[in-house]
């Protein structure tokens, strides 16, 4: 029995060392050119088509796949700028911290938290598994308890 434990420890040490040595995965960044209503609709149709791929959806939700706007091209001299599309400005608010109401938060739940999050909210009775707690500490995510 002690031989089996020693073997498991050895494997764990090797695997943890490999995980620590692996470079952090940088999120894929896709540049999006939405200079017109038609381009925006094309982008929306493309996203709808790609939404059937669960791996793509998971990467977008976890922040591993990001979108960025393409730089705008300046108008040539003497050409009138295109009329501005009507839109509503929305002030950006700080991102809401993920909230967990369930009884037990696991490491898998923590792994699904976007990388840019610095805090989470837990219900008063919610508990963390030891691995989830370690992962939160490793990522520097603060825990806020709610009254409910």
Is residue 90 pLDDT above 70, yes or no?
no
Positions of E strands within the chain: 28-32, 65-69, 99-100, 104-105, 119-122, 127-128, 142-145
The tokens for 96 are 């809401």
Query: Which of 147 and 133 is assigned the larger pLDDT?
Result: 133
Q: What is the pTM of this model?
A: 0.38
Q: Is residue 144 a contact partner of residue 119, using CB atoms and an 8 Å limit? A: yes
At 95 the pLDDT is 60
Q: Is residue 29 a contact partner of residue 68, using CB atoms and an 8 Å limit? A: yes
**Percent of the chain beyond pLDDT 70?**
78
25-79 pLDDT tens trace: 556 777 887 778 888 888 888 888 888 888 888 888 887 888 888 776 554 555 5
Residue extents of the structural domains in the chain: 26-72, 96-148
At 12 the pLDDT is 84
At 138 the pLDDT is 92
């Amino acid at each position: 029995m002690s031989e089996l434990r020693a073997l498991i420890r050895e494997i764990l040490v090797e695997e943890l060392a490999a995980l620590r040595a692996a470079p952090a995965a940088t999120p894929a960044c896709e540049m999006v050119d939405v200079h017109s209503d038609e381009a925006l609709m094309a982008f929306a149709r493309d996203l709808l088509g790609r939404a059937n791929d669960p791996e793509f959806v998971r990467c977008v939700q976890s922040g591993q796949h990001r979108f960025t706007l393409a730089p705008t091209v300046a108008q040539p001299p003497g050409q009138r700028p295109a009329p501005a599309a009507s839109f509503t400005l929305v002030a950006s608010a700080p991102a809401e911290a993920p909230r967990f109401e369930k009884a037990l938060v696991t490491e898998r739940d923590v792994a699904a938290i976007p990388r840019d999050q610095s805090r989470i909210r837990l219900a008063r009775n919610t508990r963390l598994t030891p691995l989830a707690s370690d992962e939160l500490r490793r990522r520097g995510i603060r825990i806020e308890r709610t009254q409910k």
